[in-house]
Amino acid sequence: MTFTEIAEKRYSVRNFSQRPVEKEKLQHILEMGRLSPTGVNWQPQRLLVMEGEAMEKFARCTFFVFGAQTGILVCYDRNVSWTSDWGTNIGSIDATMVMSTMMYAAEEQGLGTIIIGGYNEDRLRELFKMPDYLEPVGALLIGYPAPESKPHPVYHQRKPMSDTVFYGDFSEVTPGEDHAGKHRVRFPD
């Protein structure tokens, strides 16, 4: 598949089968993440592979597991990530690039994914013994989609490029609809 085909085909899987992810495929995905670009090539990403008991722990931090048997918790080390002279730390950008690269690598391997950003961070830190200098960015859940899995109904509803792409400056941009508070989730106690 070409990258375009992969990008057009992939969707966020919300129903995984119980078929395990082969170790070779997982290693390939992790290797593609290792090759991902990062600021100054400092590679601040810290990846926690979650399977078995670790996935059970992750399920205690979020409702969003969807039956996945494998996940990668993507974090960055604040001490390693590049910070500009004006104070902008790009660790979250680096970690997101790594996560996106692994997401597309999983699709290339015939696997489905979903990125989870909603979790109880305090519980996550406690259960996974996460030091203060690590910042979680998200979890990439990976697996084979269940036979009945399909894209969410809104998945193919894409805004026209004229709503999201501007040239030269932002003088023509208009405020979008405020979505604050529209998708509230209470995390497991």
d(CA 133, CA 79): 7
In the chain, the largest separation of any two C-alpha atoms, in whole Å, equals 51
pLDDT of residue 184: 62
Between 185 and 177, the higher pLDDT residue: 177
Q: What percent of the chain has pLDDT over 90?
A: 85
Written as six digits, the tokens of 63 are: 């409702």
pLDDT of residue 175: 87
Question: What's the gap between Cα 140 and its chain centre?
Answer: 4
**182 pLDDT more than 80:** no
- Residue 140: which of 26, 52, 4 has the closest Cα? 26
pLDDT confidence bin for 101, thresholds 50/70/90: very high
Q: pLDDT, tens digit, for every residue of 21-36?
A: 999 999 999 999 999 9
Q: pLDDT, tens digit, for every residue of 114-144?
A: 999 999 999 999 999 999 999 999 999 999 9
Q: Which is it for strands 112-116 and 70-77: parallel, antiparallel or unpaired?
A: unpaired
pTM value is 0.92
**169 pLDDT more than 70:** yes
pLDDT of residue 187: 63
Tell me the HSE value of 118 on the side-chain side, using a 13 A CA sphere. 11
CB contact set of 144 (below 8 Å; sequence gap of 6+): 16, 17, 19, 21, 110, 111, 112
- End-to-end Cα spacing for the chain: 43
**183 pLDDT more than 90:** no
Q: How many residues does the chain have?
A: 189
CB contact set of 172 (below 8 Å; sequence gap of 6+): 166
Q: pLDDT, tens digit, for every residue of 60-91?
A: 999 999 999 999 999 999 999 999 999 999 99
DSSP-assigned letter for residue 39? G
